[in-house]
Amino acid sequence: MRGILRIAYKLLVNDRGKFAALLVGMTFAVFLMIAMTSMFAGILGKASATVTNVGAPVWVMDPAVFTVASSIPMPDYVIDAVRSVEGVRYAVPLYSGGALVKLRSGTYQAVTVIGLDDASLLGRPALLEGRIEDLYSDNAFAVVKDSEFAKLGNPRLGTEFELNDHRAVITGIADVAVSGLFGIPTLYTTYKRAIEYIPSTRYTTAFILVQPKSRDAVPAIEKSVRDMGYLALTSGEFRQRIANFYKYQTGLGTNVLLMTVISFVVGLSISGQTFYTFILENLDKFGALKAIGTRGNILVAMILFQATFTALTSYGLGIGLASLTIFAAKLRLPSYAATVTFPNLLLAFVMVIVIAAISSVIGIRKVIRIEPFEIFRG
């Protein structure tokens, strides 16, 4: 069998032009599939940035909330009710809202303001500069140093600006795990200052962050909160809820799915046509092998080997090209949202195997039907 596979390999790479065409077609398909699905994964990751950065185990919210950006304030009594639930170690409020700041240059910039619980500062970010205790100072805010940092004029410690006609001072430069999705800088402050500076409705608690006594207590907490008419989700469940919103309730998921299908069809058409042409051009060689007694299952194994070798080589080249492109794009565009994930790689691998299988079937049908005397008669 090793000798037969060696012959199959030499037949495949002997015509470098055809082999290169096969590789280019499937590599391009893998590149498109990885690029599109990675972009979608990056967008979903950024959409859940606040959930990831705050890091609370359990979030309580209004049932109509699907993303952090569309928070619905809850009455103040809800937090007391949640604190009284069996299994809750402690619960604190979180403010999340938008505001408009006026920079020293006179320009205005939209920002997202996260108000942390005054007593615990639960969900506070790690600081690159400054001390977290300075957040208790008058007019104090911490700014996240991410891809949107420059939109605030690259502020430093002590930089002042106006927020809804209130004086605000940068007392900390923060670092977070994931930057936001919508190109808006993020500011952290205390809960009390956030609701004081930013006009709001009668209710101000956007979310309640819960620390359960144990993981086993989470289902009971979720049920108790649900009986109150509200929704309690773990951080993972909340991220999945946000992802489902963008997948199924916006056009984003449909567009990415369509582009992925188009990439699959492009790769299938190019590789299928090129592989069929390759089989036709080598039909005499397969006929000669059949004439000297090579069984049909051996010929099938040769074609499967050729298709699999081409598919796996193209798969590796496509992943490498997509990863290199994403890396280069992030160097030039820090806000570019793309993340290569294991599910993306698995999806692309399955699609490549399907392309290889269909291409193999096309070649196998042609080779199995060939009669050796037709080759020698020609």
pLDDT digits (tens, 9 = 90+) for 103-132: 988 899 999 999 999 999 999 999 999 999
Residue 57 is predicted with a pLDDT of 94
* Residue-range domain boundaries for the chain: 2-46+251-377, 75-229
What's the rounded Cα separation, in Å, for the pair 368 and 294? 11
For tokens 């190109």, what's the residue? 183
Neighbour count for residue 134 (Cβ, 10 Å) = 16
Task: Report, in angstroms and rounded to the nearest whole number, the Rg of the chain calculated over CA atoms.
Answer: 29
Mean pLDDT by 10 residues, the chain (378 residues): 76 77 82 85 86 93 91 92 94 92 89 93 92 93 90 92 91 89 88 90 92 94 95 95 87 78 76 72 73 75 83 90 90 80 88 80 72 58
* pLDDT at residue 206, rounded to an integer: 93
Cα separations (Å) of 346 from 25, 271, 305, 356? 19, 20, 21, 15
Q: CA-to-CA distance for 171 and 104, rounded, in angstroms?
A: 16
Q: State CA 174 to chain mean position distance.
A: 23
How far is the C-alpha of 335 from the C-alpha of 109, rounded, in Å? 17
Neighbours of 86 (CB within 10 A): 9
Q: What are phi and psi of 93, to 5 degrees?
A: -80, 155
Q: Which two tokens stand for residue 153?
A: 């004029």
Question: Quick one: pLDDT at residue 242?
Answer: 92
Angle (nearest 5°) at CA 244 between 242 and 245: 65
